[in-house]
Homo-oligomer: A and B are copies of this chain.
Amino acid sequence: MKTRQVILARRPVGMPTTDDFRIDEVELESPGEGDIVVENLCMSVDPYMRGRMVDRKSYTPPFQIGEALTGGAIGRVVESNDPNVPVGAHVESSFGWREAFVAPGGQVRALGNLEAPASAYLGVLGMPGMTAYVGLLEVGALKQDDVVFVSGAAGAVGSAAGQIARLKGCRTIGSAGGPEKVRHLTDDLGFDHAFDYREGNLEDAIRAGAPNGIDLYFDNVGGEHLQAALNCMNPHGRIALCGSISGYNAVDPEPGPNNLGMAVRMQLRLEGFIVSSFGHLRHAFQRDMTDWVTSGELKYQETVFDGLDSASDAFIGLFTGANTGKMVVNLG
């Protein structure tokens, strides 16, 4: 059995291009004792993967040039030497960026009966959804009556974070790129206020939605968003630092916020986090999020690219605002 897989051809400099990637076809090994063979149905591209394309110290080792990329994927078992993961089971794995793979059964997570379409387990019911959940509730320590600001609020993480805040009864404002996404936030997702970060002054836009200031800022963007939000924080405010997509493709480091003095004067807490450190909350996340999604209280949207050949375009699209909600590559 063969599979096609996406290889990191070279490290991107600045905005990635399709030339940074190539597709190879390889013969899969035969499954050994305890192994399973999985055909992927869909795979994830996520902003954090840009960081793994850089050769530096981080929470996960960098991708290696000439090797297949990895990332979240949902697949179906087509051959099994592991009785715990039988043929036909849906599994989540980190063996994305390829159409099929062979791995020990213990290296995938069986999903049981799907309560939503398979791709939802890459998004709202998967890593991005859990990132929103732990970032808001645990790192951000959401409190009743908090005013919450979410940047990149039309993305996979941001749209979940904002809706969780709303479901917890908090006034929620969000930023997104372009009028359609802004309308999506208020009309479809129930944000109290949303604005287009490409228009006008960021700080003014935040204050228009949060005239009494922000208590919790869920930062997906960094850069100018973080600087503007710092100026709007209430005393003892919290900033959950989830990532800073604005700087992921910067060739030279962007200057940081010039107003960190606000953190002292307003006694703010800024805390970076990685969802994989919060495994102890997985059960609570799955219970709550499945309830919210199946009841329709929390909505999600996907932008779907079709086929492995579109994977690099889908990935690059994350940085040009091509997605509303989760960016998914369909492989089924």
Contacts and interface: CB of A to CB of B under 8 A. Distances in A.
Interface of A: 51, 57-59, 222, 226-227, 235, 241-244, 247, 253-274, 277
Given A59-B267, A270-B269, A260 B226 contact: yes
The quantity of this chain's copies bound in the complex is: 2
Contact of A273 (B58, B222, B258, B264): B264
A326 B273 CA distance: 37
A271 B269 contact: yes
Contacts of A235: 59
Contacts of A263: 241, 270-272
A268 B264 contact: no
A267 B256 contact: no
A62 to B, nearest CB: 12
A265 B272 contact: yes
A13 to B, nearest CB: 17
B242 A264 contact: yes
Contacts of A277: 267
A150 to B, nearest CB: 16
A267 B273 contact: yes
A29 to B, nearest CB: 33
Contacts of A241: 260, 263-264
Given A260-B270, A262-B272, A268-B271, 13 more contacts: A51-B261, A222-B261, A241-B263, A242-B264, A244-B261, A256-B256, A256-B259, A257-B260, A266-B272, A267-B271, A267-B274, A267-B277, A270-B270
A258 to B, nearest CB: 4
B258 A264 contact: no
A261 B50 CA distance: 13
Given A59-B266, A266-B59, A267-B272, A258 B256 contact: yes
A216 B76 CA distance: 46
